[in-house]
Structure 1
């Protein structure tokens, strides 16, 4: 080896270690540690439940608390199945099972694949509207028919022989309008009814809608062209200009056909009305005593108010008596709707010609008697909880509880299980995006509640954030998260109203150890707290209003969601 070669070798040996170190440091600087969430807890504290304890033969109403609106129900033998609207939540259309109408278990979601649910760029209140579930004994098949307000799908149907084994991909149905439902007659024929606009040029006033019926081809799963017919124009009495006749369901009893619909819009004038005919295609005559269910006539300041009752469906119970499920709200003490539209139930008296919801025309009460021969089993575990329950999640099970949802896309695409908790891989999109975000949601199910989880996270830049979000929509929410400014980490509370974000408060925080984040709500008052020792909490930002988490302010059709959130697209900066 000559002198020149030796010098080159010495230079390479001298430089090589430093080159490796520099390369390793450069690589390390690009690594962003994904946040780890653990020890989630949700606890309800509504006074209505402490003031009205249950007796052995009672259960609480609503039967599904939180954002579970537009219920539809069917039965096969002793098995009852109930579904709800889910809008842009993913998976979509939660489905529940019961053998007695009292004890319910969520068995999954009807729409749990991207091939079924295309809401990846939809607003939170778009997506799935008013699903209808029915069992056809003629071919032993369950049908779920709905309107998907996204991706040009419109009205659609999916099927299964067994709701526990998944559902087919959607079949697009060739008609306009919303709120379709399917009816199977005992002669083998099938029909679809739905809400639609009046014929061209015949709209008389704002909110004027009609109910149409089509014959349905069971072999090809499609309406039969040319069979459509308007069977209700406007509502019970068009001279009174009724608005938003919708949510139709067709039934047959004692040789007559009954058409039950919502009327008055899904707000303070909401109600349920009934019509009768000798034929499924009409003409339909309204009952003389409509509405058969409403809460619109009572003082606004009544105690323990339930309101907006309507959008109902009927089923025969295990005791041979009819029951109706329907949506309603329980506003907070500022008359704001944060928990969303919930699923209620009432017994139905159908001893006369027309069904009537028992106690559905007086201020609703928080408790019901269980059907004869039934016992309440909530306390045994495994059933959907009611009242002031506590739900704990340590994320140790192989699969997530069905109550956990994403928005616009599958939760499985951004989560991973570890021995330390649940990793959420941050999305480049933040919570204000109308695309898929990395946020795992639990519904707000009480007006007074507390929710908390432990977060292990060290942000690397100002665009990194992870934490808690209270979410009414992409334009109305609170974010309570950890981010970075310069060389220091901060916990920030920010409020987004109409898409504009304001920082409420921020504080420096040590991310060398886990932080526990908590939200405590008492009706309209929300407080965001944190703990660095897991026990002693400090408040950040004082008491703030939950106004942006209400449909009164945010609009739309959903209830508030509590989210575990991570992003690399953060735009919230500490003060």
Structure 2
């Protein structure tokens, strides 16, 4: 018995020894991880576009775009006095941003519809993948909201999600059994459901590159699926197929005065983008185009016009609080080099639907930066009381709120996977992934919302090895970006600026620094010119690399259709080496 007791004590002792050492090892690992984790504080984004300075608002006006930065492909719906609007998000996370308003002027950011990695996981897609071109529709017959979208990840394809209250979250997405893109769901007066979407022509019937069709399906509301065999092509090619129109897409169905209207984008989301409309006596056609198409476009005007807005299209219509129609649509505001860095944004115009067809008011003229608020709306509260800002504004983030602002987003994964709030600010635990990889990155992103802006942050950080880097990143994609960060070379600490163009990286400049206290990092842009600078004393700033071109942050050079992002970046897999 004594011998058994001895062996038991010995085993207990060994177990304690190994457990203690295991805890010690974990503590060391945790400490090392914390050492490599930068803390960001006092972040400031400041927009300073001349167009807003030169066009101050009157009491009854608000600015368009209503959502600046990369918020394209808007879709809108209404229940009573509540308006909900969604946009594309691509590989940004969460997926499908959603906003709420009571008046179409003042919008509250509700986050994203697809916010669970188990249900939407764009972890291995390029930034242009993920999810885009959502539709959102309220069905009064069952008091339910439907969000339908195409997901380019995880073999998901077209999916639909539902909720009774968008402010309280959404149910799990359901995969739908049809191909194509840009789906939208419509509910008739009798409660019957229909899905319309863009698709390729039937096999062997494609007449030219960019030839697409619009299809309609009947929808089974009880089982949430399209009804097999009910699909029908309702538009072939576009308004006039003899003219070889390209990319008829983004369809929306409406019913007014007993007739069915199908509104679509045509011409591709670029210089020839436009919005067109068709009418029918049945949701399944035949649909006849309006004689005055297009009803919205900017393609007819000189390229060098002042305050240029371009690429307008991909629209949706809604009845406003003043019983007048309004349209939301995407457009771009190119910079001084006629390049698009801020991405496709969400604009708004009043719509005259007093005749047979709706017409965007002044939608066939060069767009102005301001529109009149709907009658009865008395206050423009954008940027105040929690409402989303527009125009020129300053956003200050001290990371003291329990709830992080929804404008901060992740790429290919949730921001919560790498951030933690501390007394000193926001700590980013770096992934062993750098910004050029097709993986979730440990970067907290903010959309570039102005052509002239500054973005600055204080960073408390001491890199341990050359694999460690933290700082600011300006990114159009994983293959086109600037990294401005602090790293190690041998025993010395450096700050460097790296330019990556089409996957090829080059160090623009680097300099040795001595870190005695937190450092202030800053990027300033004026149109195409970007300047990166740092301050070791929070007062005097040193420029690094001179003035560099923002060309690689534009869709014109980088391709794709997202907008530039600025972010707080940390990595434990750095490959940018100081020179």
Tell me the TM-score range normalised by the shorter chain. over 0.9
**1:48 counterpart SS class:** helix
Secondary structure in 1 matching 2:242:
helix
Alpha-carbon distance in structure 1 between the residues aligned to 2:28 and 2:436: 31
Q: Which residue of 2 aligns with 1:456?
A: 460
Say if 2:215 is the partner of 1:235: no
- In the other structure, the counterpart of 2:421 is 417
Structure 2 matches for 1:55-134, cutoff 5 A?
Answer: 55-134=58-137
Q: Which residue of 1 aligns with 2:345?
A: 342
Aligned to 2:530: 526
CA distance in 2, matches of 1:322, 1:486: 64
Question: What is the TM-score normalised by the length of structure 2?
Answer: 0.94
* 2:174 equivalent to 1:181: no
| Unaligned stretches of 5+ residues in structure 2 | 1-20
Match of 1:433 in 2: 437
1:505 to 509, 522, 530: 509
Q: What is the distance in 1 between the residues matched to 2:539 and 2:332?
A: 35
Distance 2:153 2:313 in 1: 25
Equivalent in the alignment of 1:261: 264
* Residues 411 and 441 in structure 2, CA contact (< 8 A), matched pair in contact too: yes
- Please name the residue that 1:197 is paired with: 200
Q: Shift of the alpha carbon at 1:399?
A: 1.4
Unaligned runs of 5+ in 1: 1-19
Report the Cα offset of residue 115 of structure 1. 2.4
1:333 is aligned to 2:332: no
RMSD: 1.3
Give the conservation status (yes or no) of the 8 Å contact 2:482–2:497.
yes
The answer on whether the counterparts of 2:383 and 2:390 sit within 8 Å (CA) in structure 1 is no
Name the stretch that deviates more: 59-68 or 375-384: 375-384
Structure 1 position 84, deviation (Å): 0.2
Distance in 2, matches of 1:536 and 1:348, equals 51
**Residue deviations 1:206-230 (CA, integer Å, cap 9, x gap):** 0000000000000000000000000
Contact 2:469 2:486 in 1 (8 A): yes
Residue pair 1:456, 1:511 contacting (<8 A) in 2 also:
no
Contact kept, 8 Å, 1:92 with 1:112, in 2: the verdict is yes
Deviations 1:274-322 (A, max 9, x none): 0000000000000001000000000000000000000000000000000
* 1:558 and 2:562 aligned: yes
Tell me if structure 2 keeps the 8 A contact 1:465–1:570. yes
* Aligned counterparts of 2:261 and 2:37: Cα–Cα separation in 1: 56
- Rounded Cα–Cα distance in structure 2 between residues aligned with 1:57 and 1:356: 22
SS at match of 1:378: coil
Query: Which residue of the partner structure matches residue 5 of structure 2?
Result: none
Q: Is the 8 A contact 1:68 1:86 kept in 2?
A: yes
> Secondary structure of the residue that 1:490 maps to in structure 2?
strand
5 Å-filtered alignment, 1:394-405, equals: 394-405=398-409
* Preserved CA contact (<8 Å) 2:48 2:452: yes
Question: 1:77-103: per-residue Cα shift (whole Å, max 9, x none)?
Answer: 000000000000001111100000001
Query: Which one of the candidate residues 218, 221, 225 is aligned to 1:218?
Result: 221
User: Which consecutive aligned stretches of 4+ in structure 1 deviate over 2 angstroms post-superposition?
Assistant: 26-33, 378-381
Number of equivalent positions: 553
TM-score by length of 1: 0.95
Matched, 1:172 2:175: yes
Please state how far the C-alpha of 1:30 moved relative to its aligned partner: 5.2
Pairwise CA distance, 1:109 = 1.1
Question: What is aligned with 2:283?
Answer: 280
